[in-house]
């Protein structure tokens, strides 16, 4: 079994060729060929890469998908195309963030997704902020989740990770925090 992530419109439709395709949860669907540029069922190994193709988080859903058959990899990010796909589980925001953290930890040498700040993360268009580096720090608005991924001093391997919700009590808005949840001045 191999798994990836796929985003859809809230009604589980997405673009396919010149039209729209309707997906169903739990049902295997198949296509004859897989090519990241022109056919197959597209998904991504890093959930953050899904936002490149479905950037409107408020009007989209993200699913863990099981994939199989012929698999074609993209050369720009972790997008792949496959000939078999099945929707397994819709991810909550917390599960989406957790899966993104797992991907980065398991693939420390992979290029950073554009949503991951180098050493510093600040509020963007999503309710989460990622920062990665030797001494990462991040800040956000009330309700945001900040995610910090600390690399080893002499490699890109992640040796510490922290995720904190800006709740206004323990973690304040517009304040930088480090991987251990300490305020950075």
**SS3 of the chain:** CEEEEEEEECCCEEEECCEEEECCECCCEECCCCECCCECEEEECCHHHHHHHCCCHHHEEEEEEEEEEEEEECCCCCEEEEEEEEEEEECCHHHHHHHHHHHHHHCCCCCCCCCEEEEEECCCCCCEEEEEEEEEEECCCCCCEEEEEEECCCCCCEEEEEEEECCCCCCCCCCCECCCCCECC
- Is the pLDDT assigned to residue 16 strictly greater than 80? no
Read off the pLDDT of each residue in 33-48 and give the average, rounded to a whole number. Answer: 89
Read off the pLDDT of each residue in 27-39 and give the average, rounded to a whole number. Answer: 88
Same domain, 32 and 76: yes
The predicted-structure confidence for 73-107, as pLDDT tens digits, reads as follows 878 889 999 999 999 999 999 999 999 999 999 99
Q: Which of 120-124, 153-157, 161-165 has the lowest mean pLDDT?
A: 120-124
Strand order in the sheet with 116-121: 116-121, 128-138, 145-151, 158-165
Same domain, 16 and 61: yes
Read off the pLDDT of each residue in 20-25 and give the average, rounded to a whole number. Answer: 90
Percent above pLDDT 90 for the chain: 77
φ/ψ bin of 61: left (φ > 0), alpha (ψ from -120 to 50), beta (otherwise): beta
Distance CA 109, CA 101 (A): 14
Same domain, 114 and 65: no
Nearest by Cα to 36 from 71, 84, 1:
71
What pLDDT, on a 0 to 100 scale, did the predictor assign at position 36?
Answer: 82
38 pLDDT tier (thresholds 50, 70, 90)? confident
Same domain, 70 and 125: no
Read off the pLDDT of each residue in 9-21 and give the average, rounded to a whole number. Answer: 83
Same domain, 35 and 77: yes
Number of domains observed in the structure of the chain: 2
What pLDDT, on a 0 to 100 scale, did the predictor assign at position 114?
Answer: 92
Same domain, 80 and 157: no
The boundaries of the domain holding residue 129 are 103-165
Residue 184 lies in a domain: no
Same domain, 8 and 82: yes
What pLDDT, on a 0 to 100 scale, did the predictor assign at position 17?
Answer: 65
């Amino acid at each position: 079994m191999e798994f990836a992530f796929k985003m859809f419109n809230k009604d589980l439709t997405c673009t396919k060729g010149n039209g729209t395709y309707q997906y169903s949860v739990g049902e295997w669907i198949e296509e004859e060929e897989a090519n990241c540029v022109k056919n197959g069922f597209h998904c991504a190994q890093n959930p953050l890469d899904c936002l490149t193709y479905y950037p409107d988080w408020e009007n989209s859903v993200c699913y863990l998908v099981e994939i199989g058959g012929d698999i074609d990899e993209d050369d720009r990010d972790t997008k792949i195309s496959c000939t078999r796909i099945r929707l397994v589980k819709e991810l909550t925001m917390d599960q989406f963030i957790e899966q993104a953290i797992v991907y980065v930890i398991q693939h420390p040498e992979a290029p950073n997704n554009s949503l991951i700040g180098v050493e510093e993360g600040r509020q963007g268009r999503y309710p989460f902020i990622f920062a990665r580096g030797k001494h990462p720090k991040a800040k956000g608005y009330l309700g945001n989740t900040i995610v910090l991924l600390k690399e080893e001093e002499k490699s890109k391997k992640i040796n510490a990770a922290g995720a904190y919700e800006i709740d206004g009590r323990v973690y304040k808005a517009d304040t930088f925090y480090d991987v251990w949840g300490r305020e950075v001045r």
